[in-house]
């Protein structure tokens, strides 16, 4: 269970970097999109001119099944050596950040339940290879098609039900489909930060939301030089930000609220042993904010010199709001739900954020002369 391994993860903090070869990230010295380009050079073909030791290998599509036998084995939940499928593994995250494991509706054994090419008509019949970034977006080209860092083993039926849908939050007030572990398909929660996309989305359970997010950050980094030619609703058409704004906000929230697990660390190592490259956002989760911070928010904003809000991003329990007007401040989470209201006056200028989880929020500042809405990042 992800949070059961928290103590272990803390104990291994000192070895988190050591799991990558010594010097692997030495050339990752920049910030913002410069850092992303430096990471691309490291994890793609090591074209930074510093080393030819760690050139990523394309092992072909068939080799994914061989990789999975080391990278995607259940040694964390039932701990019985079966296939670890994020779309069927039943795990509940509790309010106190622990996890409860439930019996799976079905399990797969490597070498027995592999896709045989027949149509899947229900869950639990066979497994195949799920491209978290649909391969239609890059015309099934290699090496993308064969990259285990974002291609995962899943139930074939649920994989087909997802199709090419983007990931997001499903509006549970409307009709939706739910699969055996709580994974959902349905209409997007079309409010708040996610209002930029209307249509169906696919939502994994909380236990694996961060895993999916870090796969996306890996993909847009490794394939930075090609991504402007990839056509997918979650992408913005640029090489720099790469991920369209509503989805960037969602993935960042998933990343910070579902931190790296021991299972992800082990998977990263197993794929490195096969492909000779790593997911840097598993090794160094802080890279996400270092690269995309300016796209998620700004350090400070001003409206005609009348309002200041700082620090932003905020790592403490308060942000300061300086204004010539009395304000009513409303904070909304990524689902568009109001989570806090507070008055700000000339004598009380601190906005408390102690009760907020890490992530991206919308802060609406209402005054007698109008209102503005900006993003806030809590680290």
**What is the chain's pLDDT, residue by residue, as a tens digit (379 residues)?**
343 332 223 333 333 433 799 989 999 999 999 999 999 999 997 655 555 678 899 999 999 999 999 999 999 999 999 999 999 999 988 777 678 999 999 999 999 999 999 888 999 999 999 999 999 999 999 999 999 999 999 999 999 999 999 999 999 999 999 999 999 999 998 654 445 678 899 999 999 999 999 999 999 999 999 999 999 999 999 999 999 988 999 999 999 999 999 999 999 999 999 999 999 999 999 999 999 998 886 444 444 446 888 999 999 999 999 888 889 999 988 887 889 999 998 788 899 999 999 999 989 888 877 778 888 999 9
Kindly state whether residues 313 and 272 are assigned to the same domain.
no
> What's the CA gap between 72 and 263, in Å, rounded?
9
**Which residue reads 């939050």 in tokens?**
169
Of the residues 252, 278, 296, the one at which a domain ends: 296
pLDDT at 95: 73
Kindly state whether residues 348 and 216 are assigned to the same domain.
no
Kindly state whether residues 216 and 357 are assigned to the same domain.
no
Kindly state whether residues 235 and 311 are assigned to the same domain.
no
Q: Is residue 308 a contact partner of residue 349, using CB atoms and an 8 Å limit?
A: no
> What's the CA gap between 292 and 281, in Å, rounded?
12
Kindly state whether residues 319 and 225 are assigned to the same domain.
no
Q: Is residue 133 a contact partner of residue 219, using CB atoms and an 8 Å limit?
A: yes
* Number of structural domains the chain divides into: 2
Q: Which phi and psi (to 5°) does residue 309 adopt?
A: -130, 125
Of the residues 247, 262, 296, the one at which a domain ends: 296
Chain-centre distance for alpha carbon 156: 22
Q: Is residue 176 a contact partner of residue 185, using CB atoms and an 8 Å limit?
A: yes
> What's the CA gap between 327 and 345, in Å, rounded?
6
Of the residues 234, 267, 296, the one at which a domain ends: 296
**Residue 76 belongs to domain spanning:** 3-296
pLDDT at 51: 56
Kindly state whether residues 272 and 200 are assigned to the same domain.
yes
Kindly state whether residues 333 and 218 are assigned to the same domain.
no
pLDDT at 316: 93
Kindly state whether residues 269 and 291 are assigned to the same domain.
yes
For residue 349, the domain's CATH number is: 2.60.40.3080
Kindly state whether residues 217 and 311 are assigned to the same domain.
no
CB atoms within 10 A of CB 157: 21
pLDDT at 32: 96
Chain-centre distance for alpha carbon 300: 25
Per-residue CA distances from 363 to 13, 156, 303, 304 (Å): 34, 41, 14, 18
Kindly state whether residues 275 and 313 are assigned to the same domain.
no
Maximum pairwise Cα distance, the chain: 70
pLDDT at 327: 92
Kindly state whether residues 245 and 328 are assigned to the same domain.
no
Kindly state whether residues 332 and 277 are assigned to the same domain.
no
């Amino acid at each position: 269970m992800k949070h059961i391994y928290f103590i272990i993860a803390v104990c291994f903090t000192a070895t988190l970097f050591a799991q990558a070869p010594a010097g692997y990230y030495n050339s990752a010295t920049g910030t913002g999109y410069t850092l992303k380009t430096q990471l691309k050079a490291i994890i793609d073909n090591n074209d930074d001119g510093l080393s030819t030791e760690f050139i990523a290998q394309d092992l072909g599509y068939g080799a994914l099944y061989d990789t999975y036998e080391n990278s995607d084995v259940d040694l964390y939940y039932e701990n019985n050596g079966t296939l670890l499928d994020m779309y069927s593994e039943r795990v509940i995250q509790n309010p106190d950040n622990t996890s409860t494991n439930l019996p799976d509706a079905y399990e797969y054994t490597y070498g027995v339940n592999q896709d045989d090419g027949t149509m899947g008509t229900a869950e639990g019949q066979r497994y195949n290879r799920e491209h978290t970034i649909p391969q239609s977006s890059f015309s099934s080209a290699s090496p993308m098609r064969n990259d285990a860092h974002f291609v995962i083993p899943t139930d074939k039926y649920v994989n087909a039900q997802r199709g090419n849908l983007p990931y997001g939050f499903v509006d549970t007030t409307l009709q939706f489909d739910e699969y055996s572990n709580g994974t959902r398909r349905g209409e997007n929660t079309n409010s708040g930060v996610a209002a930029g996309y209307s249509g169906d989305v696919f939502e994994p359970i909380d236990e694996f939301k961060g895993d999916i997010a870090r796969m996306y950050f890996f993909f847009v980094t490794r394939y930075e030089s090609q991504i402007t030619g990839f056509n997918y609703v979650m992408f913005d058409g640029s090489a720099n930000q790469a991920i369209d704004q509503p989805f960037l906000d969602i993935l960042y929230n998933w990343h910070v609220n579902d931190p790296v697990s021991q299972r992800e660390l082990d998977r990263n190592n197993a794929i490195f042993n096969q492909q000779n490259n790593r997911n840097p956002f598993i090794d160094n989760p802080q890279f996400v904010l270092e690269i995309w911070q300016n796209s998620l928010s700004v350090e400070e904003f001003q409206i005609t010199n009348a309002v200041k809000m700082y620090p932003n991003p905020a790592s403490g329990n308060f942000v300061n709001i300086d204004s010539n007007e009395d304000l009513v401040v409303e904070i909304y989470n990524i689902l568009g739900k109001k989570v806090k209201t507070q008055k700000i006056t000339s004598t009380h200028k601190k906005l408390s954020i102690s009760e907020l989880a890490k992530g991206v929020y919308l802060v609406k500042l209402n005054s007698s002369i109008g209102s503005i809405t900006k993003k806030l990042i809590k680290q």
